[in-house]
Every structure is written in C-alpha cells, then in structure tokens.
Chain A
C-alpha cells in the first residue's frame, strides 16, 4: 500500500508541485543573465493582464462548446440509428469507428489539405455546387479558419461519443418502451421521457471526456492552422506550448500550465458532482 501511494505521489504530485514552484519564479532560459528570482504571483498577475491569454481562453471555450455540442447531437443521432436491428449492423458499427482510429495529426493534415489554397477540393466542390460565388482562402479569415478545425474534430470524435451513447441505449430495458407504447406514447414522447432520462449518465460521461479533451486541444490546431491567422484560432494549450517550448519562458509558461490545470480540474469536479448526483438519483 505504502509503496503504491509513494509512486502515485511521485508520479502525479511531484511534476505538479514542481510546475507550481517554477510558476513563482522569473525563469527565462533565453535570458539567463536575469537569473531565476522568486517573484511571487507576478506571473499570474501578468497572465490575467495578457490579452493573448484571454484570447486563447476564449478560443478554447468557443472550440469546446461548438465541437462538443455538435458531437453530442450527431453522436446521439448516430447511436439511435445504430441501435436498431438491421443487417450488417456489426460491420457498420465497426466502420463508424474508422475516423476515431486515425491519429489526430494525420486527420488534421488531411483536412488541411482539403481546405488549403484557392484551388483545394473543398473550394472546387463548393464553387462547383454554386454554394460559394468564388473560392475562399479559409486559413486567412478568423471565422472561416474555425470551419476545418471544428469539422475535423467533429468528424474524428463523433464516433466515440456515438459508441458511448450506444452502450447507454443498450442498457435501457426494452419493456419500458413496450409499456410506453401501450400507454399510447408517440415516438417523440418515448424519446423524451424514456430514452433521454435513462441515457443521462452516458451523456454525462461523454460530456466529461469530450469537454476535458476539447479544453486541452493542441495537436489538431497545431497541425491545421498553427493558431492562425494571427492568433485567431490559438487555444490555451497551444499558447502555453509556445511560451514554454518555443520561447523557453519556464516561469510564465508554468503559470499558464497551472491555470489550465486548475480550469480542467474544476470542470472535472463539477461534472463528477453532477454525475454522482445523477447516479444516486437513478438508484433511488
């Protein structure tokens, strides 16, 4: 027991405490002549007055809400479809998972390639179908650049959400639908009053996983837009990476890391409270 605890302490807590300690110093590897003085909470004060930090936080929230929202809706629809009995269901279920199996960087580059340039596949298709009057250079417009980012994320992770929800659907007792039907409930009312309430735990699990993931989004945007144009699609993890590993500002970068950690940790706690209540509620 004790060795296990010690290991956990060492593996989980030590890096965290080290980062915390770093974040209280001015430590800039590229300015060694400044030394490494203790500066208290100055790095945090600086973060809160740094417009690029707030911008990055805003982009992260925007990305998380939009992509997770879409994934949930499409994932639920997909799960309902897959829950029906039809021929070749096993094959369809497996093939739905293909985007999820592709490494994020690869799929990011795929999407980048499709959207890139004035003569990319997407532009050709949209102009050909008459949906766009002329080609758009997606990656130089702050809002347009989000389109491939969010599409790529939705494409990749909706299958994961769908499978989680499918597992939840299969846990619902079929007799409940039978009873509802006998009582004359329409398909919508069955969905609204049987499926949704009983699916809530599964939805919450999917939400936890996806929001926490979305909040830490890095590789997808790094490979797709690099955070551009300007910093219009830069999420907080990418900004932290730039500060830490490009600029080698260990003190300030550590402060940013701590802030990201606190936010995701807070989110997780919030969800766990909800989920816990939900589970005990279901037991009653």
Chain B
C-alpha cells in the first residue's frame, strides 16, 4: 500500500467517504441534501454520508466532546456553535484551515474573528444569527436608537395602548442572558474580556447591568418575568401583541408574519438594537460554523465539502429556502436575495455590521456559566450590580488563570 505521501489521492480505494453529523430537519435538511448531491455529482471522488445528531446545543456539544476526546477519526466534518470553535481549537480537536487558503476577506470580519484561535482560522462561518430589535410599526413611526428613547416609547405605548409590556428580552439563567447582557454592554461601550484579562467589572459594565435592572424595577417597561424567559416566551408575548419591543434572533420573523398565528403580522419591523451613552448598537453573533476533525483521514475531501457549502450560490439557496443569513457581505448585493429573506437585505447587513462575537476563548462556556449566575443574582435583586460584577470578574479570572490563559500570575487551581 502506498500511503499518504502523494497527498490523499485514495482513488484506489473508491471514493473518500466523509461523514457529516447534522441535525437539520424539514426544509433545512432538504436544502442540505440537494446541495450535497450536487456536490457529489461534481466530485465523484468524494462521498458525503450524513449522520443525524441531537438538535439541542448542549447535547450536541457533549457528543462531540466524547467523540473527539476519544480520538475518533469519524465524523470528518463538524458543525459548530460559534462559541465552541476556540474550545475545540485549543483542545487540538480541529484542523487549522489556513493550509487550504480560505478566502477570509469575503466573509464578515466579525464572523472570522469568532472562528480564530491564536491567529489561525479553525472554522468557516456557514450562516449567521444576530440579535435584533423588533418594533411595532403600528405604534410608532421609527425604531428608537437609544435605550432612553426605547424606554420613553415603551412607557408611552404601555399607557396609550394599554400594552402589558414595553420591552421583552431573554433573562432566564442560561446562555441567552449573557447574550442579552453582551448587547447592553456593547451599547454602553464595555467588553467582557480583553485578551487574558476579564474586564466586565467596569463603569460600562455597571451602567449596562443597571440599565437592565432599571428597565425592570424602575421604569417598569420590562416585566420581571423576563428573568424566567427564553427566546420562545418573548416571541409569544410580542407575537400576541402584548409588547412594543422585543430583542430576539432572526428566526421569529417568518413565524410572526403568518397572520393565522400572529397578531402582529404586518405590524412589525426589525432594526439594530439601541445604543446607550458611550457605546454603539451591538448584536451578539450566533449561527453555525463548519470545521474539520483533526483526526480525519480525508482532510482535503472534507475541505472540499466545507468550501462548497459556503459558496455564495449555496448561501443564496439557504437564504431563499430557510431564511438563514449568509456570512458573505457580497451576497447581500444580489437582488435575488431580497425575495428569500423576510427582512430587506440592506437592514440585515446593517445589523450584521454591528455584530460582535462573544468572548473568543476556549473556556467561554465556563466563563459564561459564572456570568449567568451573577447577572441573574443582580437582576433578581439578590445582589447589587457592582458586587455581582466584582464577584463574577474574580471567579472568571480564576478560571482563565487556571487554564493558563490569564494574564495574571498563573494560579494552580481556582
């Protein structure tokens, strides 16, 4: 047997089989199916086998960690949540993609930053989700651009139109809370992490957290029940016409345009999230990335699949059929895109340009869990915002230092 040296030409053993775990159902699954068969028709040397995985992010993550930790060469391609890329990269579980010469300049810069670790690219952004402000076109002429304006508009709508809620977001103790906080934080000019240093306990952090708390307890525009809400609870409230504003991902747009289900069909629009003093509108990035298992036996074939799936043509098709936002700004200039997206492409592009990744660090999940707890304590008034941020920062820094990623003196363990 001649191995490897000639660069992965395994033509003597039939097509290279590349496995791709996927949880896409319905229309999304069908689009992928079509795209993969087109790919295989054009590349007879490669066969892509799909493998069904759980849809829930936590379960998928757990499964991936088990596979990769055990050194399995299969699956070859991985679909990653944006916050997993640095974790898997630092663990040595996925291949750096620079060797394949990806055209990083063609993607939104923030989506590339989110997928880099130590100056190498480890995953290619497939589609992007961003946080946006939903507002009611029947209650006001334009979307508010600051939180002060949003509060005023909310109070006015609550009084004049007897709306139950002004503004709704996601405040349960889960990843979504950190996402919402990150957006308030950016709007006030703050950050969570600066390289190896946790910097959330800052004047900006305090202003952001106090703004969230005041909206609930002082201005009465956000119901305190948001502190138990995820995406769907806020969607129900907004969709039932009970709220003037909502922060959410793009997925509710087509659902709420269906007048059989929604009371706000034709009465809402989306805009960038508001800014606070000293900051700019900020949207958190979500969405899916594609990466290659470091143990794969067919790196070239896996790259060919990823490269194909992230081409403009495939992105356009996904946008048209399932409404997912392309990660290439160039695609937005295409007039054809407007027919597929429920929102004008120019608006989407403007929101994506305000998008920032969550802290890009291999220990993101651990940092997020700590932050979730302390934010939730502050928002449920078990702790004062300053004290909560102080404790969060100290605990997060300890995790960073323990991982050897902190800029402080390395601490043995916690």
Interface positions of A (Cβ within 8 A of B): 26, 29-34, 39, 42, 46, 50, 52, 116-118, 137, 139-142, 226-232, 242, 245-248
Choose one: B58, B225, B369; the contact of A117 (CB below 8 Å): B225
Chain B: interface size category: 20 to 34
Q: Is the CB of B380 within 8 A of A31?
A: no
Q: Is the CB of B369 within 8 A of A30?
A: no
Q: Interface readout for B201-227 with A: 1 if CB under 8 Å, 0 if not?
A: 000000000000000000000011101
Q: Is the CB of B404 within 8 A of A34?
A: yes
Chain A residues whose C-beta falls within 8 Å of the C-beta of B91 in the assembled complex: 30-33
Q: Is the CB of A30 within 8 A of B404?
A: no
Q: Is the CB of A142 within 8 A of B366?
A: no
Cα distance A118–B222 when bound, in Å? 13
Q: Is the CB of A31 within 8 A of B362?
A: yes
Does B403 count as interface, using CB distance less than 8 angstroms? yes
Q: Is the CB of B173 within 8 A of A30?
A: no
Known: A30-B87, A230-B376. A245 touches B227 (CB 8 A): no
Q: Is the CB of B224 within 8 A of A226?
A: no
Give B397 Cβ to nearest chain A Cβ, in Å: 15
Choose one: A32, A140, A230; the contact of B228 (CB below 8 Å): A140
Chain B residues whose C-beta falls within 8 Å of the C-beta of A226 in the assembled complex: 172-174
Q: Is the CB of B404 within 8 A of A33?
A: yes
Cα distance A231–B173 when bound, in Å? 9
Q: Is the CB of A242 within 8 A of B414?
A: no
Q: Is the CB of A142 within 8 A of B382?
A: yes
Q: Is the CB of A230 within 8 A of B380?
A: yes
Give A27 Cβ to nearest chain B Cβ, in Å: 11
22 A-B pairs whose Cβ atoms sit less than 8 Å apart in the complex: A29-B65, A30-B362, A30-B366, A32-B69, A32-B91, A42-B413, A116-B228, A118-B223, A137-B224, A137-B225, A139-B228, A140-B225, A140-B227, A140-B380, A228-B380, A230-B173, A230-B383, A231-B377, A232-B380, A245-B62, A246-B369, A247-B365
Known: A32-B69, A46-B413, A247-B366. A228 touches B225 (CB 8 A): no
Give A237 Cβ to nearest chain B Cβ, in Å: 17
Give B226 Cβ to nearest chain A Cβ, in Å: 9
Known: A140-B380, A141-B380, A246-B58. A30 touches B65 (CB 8 A): yes
Q: Interface readout for B110-122 with A: 1 if CB under 8 Å, 0 if not?
A: 0000000000000
Chain A residues whose C-beta falls within 8 Å of the C-beta of B377 in the assembled complex: 229-231
Known: A229-B173, A229-B377. A34 touches B403 (CB 8 A): yes
Chain B residues whose C-beta falls within 8 Å of the C-beta of A33 in the assembled complex: 90-92, 404
New A-B pairs, 16, CB < 8 Å, besides A30-B65, A137-B225: A30-B363, A30-B366, A33-B404, A34-B404, A50-B414, A117-B228, A118-B225, A141-B380, A228-B376, A229-B382, A230-B374, A230-B377, A230-B383, A242-B369, A245-B62, A246-B365
Q: Interface readout for B382-397 with A: 1 if CB under 8 Å, 0 if not?
A: 1100000000000000
Instruction: Tell me what chain A mostly uses at the interface: helix, strand, loop, or mixed.
Output: loop
Cα distance A246–B90 when bound, in Å? 18
Known: A46-B414, A142-B382. A31 touches B69 (CB 8 A): no
Give B149 Cβ to nearest chain A Cβ, in Å: 26
Give A145 Cβ to nearest chain B Cβ, in Å: 9
Which 5 A-B pairs give the minimum distances between C-beta atoms? A230-B377, A229-B380, A140-B227, A140-B380, A228-B173
Give A220 Cβ to nearest chain B Cβ, in Å: 17
Give B82 Cβ to nearest chain A Cβ, in Å: 16
Does B338 count as interface, using CB distance less than 8 angstroms? no
Q: Is the CB of A142 within 8 A of B380?
A: yes
Q: Is the CB of B413 within 8 A of A30?
A: no
Chain B residues whose C-beta falls within 8 Å of the C-beta of A139 in the assembled complex: 227-228
Cα distance A141–B376 when bound, in Å? 11
Cα distance A141–B227 when bound, in Å? 10
Cα distance A32–B413 when bound, in Å? 15
Q: Which residues of chain B from 65 to 89 have any CB-CB distance to chain A below 8 Å in the complex?
A: 65, 69, 87
Interface centre among B58, B65, B377, B413 (most CB of A within 10 A): B413
Chain B residues whose C-beta falls within 8 Å of the C-beta of A39 in the assembled complex: 413
Cα distance A141–B91 when bound, in Å? 39
Does B322 count as interface, using CB distance less than 8 angstroms? no
Chain A residues whose C-beta falls within 8 Å of the C-beta of B223 in the assembled complex: 118, 137
Give A160 Cβ to nearest chain B Cβ, in Å: 30
Cα distance A245–B369 when bound, in Å? 13
Chain A residues whose C-beta falls within 8 Å of the C-beta of B402 in the assembled complex: 31
Does B373 count as interface, using CB distance less than 8 angstroms? yes
Cα distance A183–B403 when bound, in Å? 76
Q: Which residues of chain B from 137 to 192 have any CB-CB distance to chain A below 8 Å in the complex?
A: 172-174
Chain A residues whose C-beta falls within 8 Å of the C-beta of B362 in the assembled complex: 30-31
Cα distance A226–B376 when bound, in Å? 12
Chain B residues whose C-beta falls within 8 Å of the C-beta of A137 in the assembled complex: 223-225, 227-228
Cα distance A117–B233 when bound, in Å? 10
Q: Is the CB of B403 within 8 A of A31?
A: yes
Q: Is the CB of B373 within 8 A of A231?
A: yes
Chain B residues whose C-beta falls within 8 Å of the C-beta of A50 in the assembled complex: 414
Chain A residues whose C-beta falls within 8 Å of the C-beta of B225 in the assembled complex: 117-118, 137, 140
**Which of chain B's residues has its CB closest to A139's CB?**
B228
Q: Is the CB of A32 within 8 A of B373?
A: no
Cα distance A64–B173 when bound, in Å? 24
Cα distance A32–B362 when bound, in Å? 11
Cα distance A50–B377 when bound, in Å? 17
Interface centre among A26, A140, A142 (most CB of B within 10 A): A140
Cα distance A248–B88 when bound, in Å? 14
Q: Is the CB of B413 within 8 A of A26?
A: yes
Choose one: B227, B365, B412; the contact of A229 (CB below 8 Å): B227
Cα distance A42–B413 when bound, in Å? 8
**Which of chain A's residues has its CB closest to B165's CB?**
A118
